[in-house]
Amino acid sequence: MLSKCVRYTLRKILRIRKYETISANIRRRKTQFAKKIYKKPISRSQIYSVLKELGIKEGDNLLVHASWRDLYNFQGEPDELIEVLRQILGGEGTLLMPSYGPTRSYLDVECTPSSAGVLSEIFRLQPNTVRSACTHFSISASGKNAVELTKEHINSEYGFDHNSPYYLLSKFDNSKVLFIGLGKEPTQISLFHCAGYLLKEKNPALANLLSYKYRSTLIKDKIQYEKEMVIRKPGHKNNNKVFKKILNSINNRKHVRNSNVDFVLIDAKEGLNNAIEYANKGIYCYKGIK
């Protein structure tokens, strides 16, 4: 009861919006402040140069996490940024973005808007983009390996299990994860969540963590499926300190800053392997695990 009162009071003081988290509110305020300092425009050609500098190349499989809010200096629209990403990946590459809905208990693959941001929603609606059929952390993809990376997600019981695009991405060569506008040390690293599921059969702590079951409704090609899913038990929030430790342990990690925007790139395979190594040492991505 006390913690709820504290959260309520804090939300009032910070003027946090109805569906906004405290961390999201802080990021929004930082962006408002940054707009007064960082005013250097970012062109399409500069974005292209940054991506090349990071090491992204034709034929890569690229998962992008981006904050359009922080790209206020970009001289273009969301579809133009997506076009730059497609251009650098070429016809042999694959572009992916998170495309989860507003609730984990329901997803209409064709109709439910993405809650992963403006860029993600526009990408989802573009021609030749496919969306994975999973109520928990669906993903959209376009390009050579799009179907292969997304088609098994319908069989998942957890959004980051062995059938998920997040895990399958790490099995492909030239697979990378790009973070745009999420800071020098981003913690929105969905890939790391795969480690917990992969280890839970041999790790009682992780098995207990991923034991909360719930029912969900999935609609794909106008067919409705009722599915039993699993997620983390309540009370186990992300441990951002551990996320950053794993991130900084990745050798194939690169960072470039242009104007106000941080661009961070990691190797998907190495990232997941490092998350597994940390979990094997008892260093988990979540709080409250004993």
Contact 46, 258 (CB under 8 A): yes
Kindly report the pTM of this predicted structure: 0.90
The residues that bridge with 176 in the sheet, in sequence order, are 62, 267
Cα separation values, 24 from 15, 17, 181, 273, Å = 12, 10, 13, 29
Query: Which pLDDT does position 5 carry in this prediction?
Result: 72
The letter for the amino acid at 133 is: A
Residues 81-121 pLDDT 10s = 999 999 999 999 999 999 999 999 999 999 999 999 999 99
Residue written as tokens 């997040």? 166
Distance CA 177, CA 170 (A): 10
pLDDT value at 290 more than 70 = yes
Count the helix, strand and coil residues of the chain and give each as a percent rounded to the nearest 5: 40, 20, 40
**Residue 198 — φ and ψ, nearest 5°?**
-65, -25
Query: Which pLDDT does position 40 carry in this prediction?
Result: 83
Contact 108, 75 (CB under 8 A): no
Distance CA 74, CA 41 (A): 6
Band (pLDDT 50/70/90 cuts) for residue 139 is very high
Q: Among 25-34, 56-65, 168-177, which stretch is predicted with the lowest mean pLDDT? A: 25-34
Query: Which pLDDT does position 148 carry in this prediction?
Result: 98
Give start and end residues of each alpha helix (H) in 55-103.
78-89
Give me 97's structure tokens. 């973005």
pLDDT value at 205 more than 70 = yes
Give start and end residues of each alpha helix (H) in the chain.
2-14, 22-34, 44-54, 78-89, 118-125, 146-150, 165-169, 193-199, 204-209, 240-248, 268-280
